[in-house]
Structure 1
Amino acid sequence: MTVINGSHFSNLEGFYEEVSKVLTKDTNWKVGTLDGFNDILYGGFGIFENYDEVQIIWKDSQKSKKDLGFELTKEFYENKIKQGKPFNVELIQDKLNELIDGKGQTLFDILIEIIEEHQNITLILD
C-alpha cells in the first residue's frame, strides 16, 4: 500500500515532490511533469515493477482537490501559454477556455485520470 499525503503539499511542485518521495524511493528519479508522473506509474522506477498490483491511498484528497483546483490550473495553463514553444499554445488555450467555462479539468482531475488509466493501480481517495 502506498500513501500520497495531501497535507504534505499545496501545489503541483509539492505533489511531484511527494510522489517522487513515495513512488521512486531509493532512486535518483524525480517527477517534474504530468508525463513524468504517468511514466512512473508504469512501474520499474522504485517501489513496484511493471504491472504489479498497486494500491494508492490519497490521504487528505479533499484538500488536494481544492489546492489543485481552478485557480492553480488556470495559472498552470497561463504559464504554458506565456512560455509558448514547445507547448501547443492553441490546445492549451482551448483547455483554459474549457476550464473557465466550467467544463474543463482541474489539475486534480487530470492527476486522478492519469492514475486511473493504469489498470493495475487501485486509487482510494481518503
Structure 2
Amino acid sequence: MLNTSNNNTRKMIVIHGGHFSSLGVFYEEASRVLMKDLDWKVGTLDGFDDILYGGFGVFENKEEIEIIWKESQKSKEDLGFKATREFYENKIRQGKPFNIELIQQKLDELMKGEGLTLFEILIEIIKSHTNIILRLE
C-alpha cells in the first residue's frame, strides 16, 4: 500500500509534451511551469538543472516535488536523434565558448548509437535530483 499522505504534500508540476517540439520551446515550457513570475528564463541544459534545485519560483530548495511529463513519447521523438545531432552541429558551428572537442566526441558517440539524445539528457538531469519524482505519461 502506498503512503498517500506523503503524496498529498508533494507538489505536482506538469510538463506537457504537446506544448513544444524543440529544445528551445521546452525551455519556455519549463520556465513557465517551474519559475512563476520571474524575469529570468531557462535557456541551457545547465540552467534547467539549476532551476531543479528549487528556490526559483514554484518550489523551495530540496522540497519534494513530482514532475509529470505528459505526452513524453512525443517529446522523446521531438528531442531524439535528429534534434540532438542538430544541437551538437550548431554548437560546433558556433565555436567559442563551447568546448568543440567535447561536443564533437558527444556527436560521434550519438552517431555510433552510444550517446544520449536531448530527451535522455533531460531525463538524466531530472533524475539526478533526489527530491524529484519523475512520471512519464
Q: TM-score, normalised by structure 2?
A: 0.91
Give the corresponding residue for 2:129. Answer: 118
- Stretches of 4+ moved more than 6 A in 1? none
Give the corresponding residue for 1:79. Answer: 90
1:61-76 correspondence to structure 2 within 5 Å: 61-76=72-87
What 5-or-longer segments of structure 1 have no aligned partner?
none
Give the corresponding residue for 1:100. Answer: 111
- 8 Å contact from structure 1 (residues 29, 45) kept in 2: no
The yes-or-no answer on 1:16 pairing with 2:34 is no
What 5-or-longer segments of structure 2 have no aligned partner?
1-11
Give the corresponding residue for 1:41. Answer: 52
Q: Structure 1, residues 7-26: CA drift from partner, whole Å, max 9, x if none?
A: 00000011000000000012
Q: Structure 1, residues 55-78: CA drift from partner, whole Å, max 9, x if none?
A: 000000000000000000000000
> What's the % identity of the aligned pairs?
71
Q: TM-score, normalised by structure 1?
A: 0.99
Greater CA deviation, 25-34 or 56-65? 25-34
C-alpha distance in 2 between matches for 1:69 and 1:97: 15
State the shift of 1:6 in Å.
0.1
State the shift of 1:29 in Å.
2.0
Letter in 2 for 1:60: E
State the shift of 1:27 in Å.
1.5
Across the aligned residues of Structure 1 and Structure 2, the Cα RMSD in angstroms comes to 0.5
Q: Structure 1, residues 22-66: CA drift from partner, whole Å, max 9, x if none?
A: 000122121000010000000010000100000000000000000
Give SS of 2:108's match. Answer: helix
Q: Which has the greater radius of gyration?
A: 2
The count of corresponding residues between Structure 1 and Structure 2 is 126
Give SS of 1:79's match. Answer: helix
